[in-house]
Chain A
Amino acid sequence: MDKTKMFIFAGRVLKNLFQKPATTQYPFQPVDYPDRMRGHIEIRIEDCITCGLCMRACPSQAIQVDRKAGTWTIDRFDCVQCSSCVNVCPKKCLMMKKGYTAPEIEKKSETFTRPQEEKKEAEGASGGKPVLDAEKCVHCTLCAKKCPQEAIMVDRKEKTWELDKEKCVECGICVSACPKKALEMKG
């Protein structure tokens, strides 16, 4: 383009002088966030089974889960809003919600504790630990591979299936992974 002109932008500059600002007057004017916005993580603690899958999936190690104490802790300043934990949660009790975390003077984490009364109900609902119907089992090892806690040991040669009850978090992933429907959650 060889043409050279002057004051091409003058029209826009004059317009800018007399029109409203292009920016939103936040915080006086509230912001309308879109539905998909990844703002912050929320947890429905009563449904949480403290399986720890979110803690393992978190790339920035912002989540700490304590099974014994039944607590779920998040450091909101470490969270990168990737929604990796939401994708892995077997109970779908983690959610990504609109709106950013408010600023704080000091860096601290937020802890949620599982309610004791509802804990029993939740276990009842999840149906306890997996029980094997040995006749149906083909020892394919899929349950062992999917188990987040590595609580299931399957030996294909010896045709054995063992569950480490200490490690099991009752997430029910093995039941849904079993191709022969040989597993069932029982109290």
Chain B
Amino acid sequence: MAKRSIVPFGPQHPVLPEPVHLDLVLEDETVVGAIPSIGYIHRGLEKLVEKRDFKQYVYIAERICGICSCGHGLGYCLAVEKVMDIEVPDRARYLRTIWLEMSRIHSHLLWLGLLADAMGFESLFMESWRLREKILDMFDETAGGRIIHSVNCVGGVQKDMDSSMLQDVLRAVSDLEGEMKPVVDTFLQDYTVQSRLKGTGILTKEDAVAMGAVGPMMRASGIEYDARLLGYGAYNELTVEPITSTEGDCYGRCEVRLKELFQSFDLIREAVGKIPQGPVSVPVKGNPSGEYFVRIEQPRGEAIYYIKGNGTKYLDRFRLRTPTTSNIPPMVEMLKGCQLADVPLLILTIDPCVSCTER
């Protein structure tokens, strides 16, 4: 048996946008074990729910993480609305869905860029982020902010999109779809990209179930499940088919995310076609009393929001389980047996979001 050594990975590492630390147990160049440790950016945002009024907390929930911001606001609002028995107007449900799908596109394009950067493919990274700007500009036009949108509120949405804005969104989506082709071809067919992605970090279907993987990571291992099938927002009236891959390796995860981009384009088109007229929010009276638990599909996977109200304007408890929290155990399993040089790429393919995880 070769001599074992431990190499620290992170918390500051060029591939990681956020700090997470791993102790890699190596035998020569092969990883035989990994011990993760988190807690570098804990901000106590869940505790803050006791100090801020439940309507104000939407703004804080949105700021748990930049990239998942739209989903966090929506998940929290859905939970509060269920507790308070508020029926959200149909138009608001559709608008929420359109914004959430746009945020999925921007999150996946961001991830594709980071993946290209981790492989050292600088021009592909720049191209992915150039395309992402189109969606960010649409957020700026429709919501008023590029990253933090502040559109969700308890009882509906704060802003309406008029027909010219909806047409602008459709135009941006079509432009993006047209320009995506060289990027998709490069990720899926290029020789150098394939040699980095294929066969690395295989997560079997059994392991994915046993370890509780979620989101694109789980679907890449062949499990047909998508929390959008639960029908929150307007998803019950739209066509959502879980996108899967059977490979279970880094290539599979890349393929699932690329195809999800095109699914989001179709969902936006379908939602804009079906959007009904009417109000976008209902007045909220009283304070929440009781508890509820909501599951939604964030770009990175299934997120869980739990709230407990006590009849005052301050909630007793807010709990958020993020997709990255569930994807860390399968990631540790995946790392066993891989080469040290592949570790940055493997960690990146779970699309880690450490800000969300530590809150």
- Using a CB–CB cutoff of 8 Å, the interface residues on chain A facing chain B are 1, 3-6, 8-9, 11-13, 16, 22, 33-34, 36-38, 57, 59, 80-84, 87, 96
Cβ–Cβ < 8 Å partners of A11 in chain B: 182
Please give me the 10 A-B residue pairs with the lowest Cβ-Cβ distance, nearest first.
Answer: A36-B144, A38-B144, A34-B141, A82-B59, A59-B59, A9-B186, A22-B130, A8-B186, A6-B191, A59-B56
Chain B interface, DSSP helix/strand/loop, else mixed: helix
Question: What are some 9 contacts across the A-B interface (CB < 8 A)?
Answer: A4-B190, A6-B191, A9-B182, A12-B123, A16-B123, A36-B140, A38-B150, A59-B57, A81-B145
**B144 x A37 contact (CB < 8 A):** yes
Interface size class, chain B: 20 to 34
Q: Chain A interface mostly helix, strand, loop or mixed?
A: loop
User: Does the CB pair A9–B124 fall under 8 Å?
Assistant: yes
Write out, one digit per residue, whether chain B residues 91-135 have a CB within 8 A of any chain A CB (1) or not (0): 000000000000000000000000000000101101100100100
Q: Are A80 and B63 in contact (CB under 8 A)?
A: yes
Q: Which residue of B lies closest to A11 (CB)?
A: B182
Docked Cα-Cα span, A33 to B143, in Å, equals 12
Extra 15 A-B pairs, beta carbons < 8 Å, given A36-B143, A81-B148 = A1-B188, A4-B191, A4-B194, A5-B185, A6-B190, A11-B182, A12-B123, A13-B123, A36-B144, A37-B144, A37-B145, A38-B144, A59-B60, A80-B148, A83-B144
B4 contacts A by Cβ under 8 Å: no
Kindly identify which residue among B150, B159, B182 contacts A12, using a CB–CB cutoff of 8 Å: B182
Residues of A within 8 A of B130 (CB): 22
A36→B142 contact, CB < 8 A? yes
CB pair B140 A1 closer than 8 Å: no
B contact residues around A83 at 8 Å (CB): 144, 150, 158
Point out the residues of chain A lying under 8 angstroms from B163, CB to CB: none
Q: Please determine whether A4 and B63 come into contact, CB atoms closer than 8 angstroms.
A: no
In the bound complex, residues from chain B placing their C-beta under 8 Å from that of A84 are 56, 59
User: B277 contacts the other chain (Cβ, under 8 Å)?
Assistant: no
Question: A38 CA to B149 CA in the complex, in Å?
Answer: 9
Q: In chain B, residues 163-193, which have Cβ atoms closer than 8 Å to a Cβ of chain A?
A: 182, 185-186, 188-192
Interface flag for B47 (CB, 8 Å)? no
Q: Is B43 an interface residue (CB 8 A)?
A: no
Contact of A38 among B133, B145, B182, B189 (CB under 8 A): B145
Q: Let me know if A36 and B159 touch, CB within 8 A.
A: yes
Inside 8 A of B141's CB, which chain A residues have their CB?
34, 36
Asked if B59 contacts A80 (CB within 8 A), the reply is yes
The answer, among A9, A81, A96, for a CB contact under 8 Å with B190, is A9
The smallest C-beta distance from A139 to any residue of chain B, in angstroms, reads 18
Given contacts A9-B182, A57-B56, contact A4 B144 (CB under 8 A): no
Residues of A within 8 A of B57 (CB): 59
> Does B274 lie at the interface of the complex (its beta carbon under 8 Å from any beta carbon of A)?
no
Q: Which residue of A lies closest to B142 (CB)?
A: A36
